[in-house]
Amino acid sequence: PAAAADFSEPLDEPAADDEPADAAALKRKKNTDAARRSRMRKILRIETLESRVSELEGENTRLSQLVAQLEAEKAAMARAVL
């Protein structure tokens, strides 16, 4: 009969009630990906800061030793002048 519907071919478009679920799933995936990128940026930033702290601690040690050396030289010069 001409009025009978043909259900043998699948529909290309999802049903209207499926779209919100797909949109929500897409939004969750985007949020998950964004959170993952944010965590990776945080880890990279922490590693960079830890490296910088190590560099500055080394420089601080070197400068403290230089100050001690210069103070010793200053004291020796003061004694030589007297």
Tell me: the pLDDT tens digits for 26-65?
Answer: 999 999 999 999 999 999 999 999 999 999 999 999 999 9
Confidence class for position 82, pLDDT limits 50, 70, 90: confident
Closest CA to 37 of 48, 47, 29: 29
pLDDT for residue 77 is more than 90: yes
Closest CA to 61 of 53, 49, 50, 73: 53
pTM for this entry:
0.59
pLDDT for residue 15 is more than 80: no
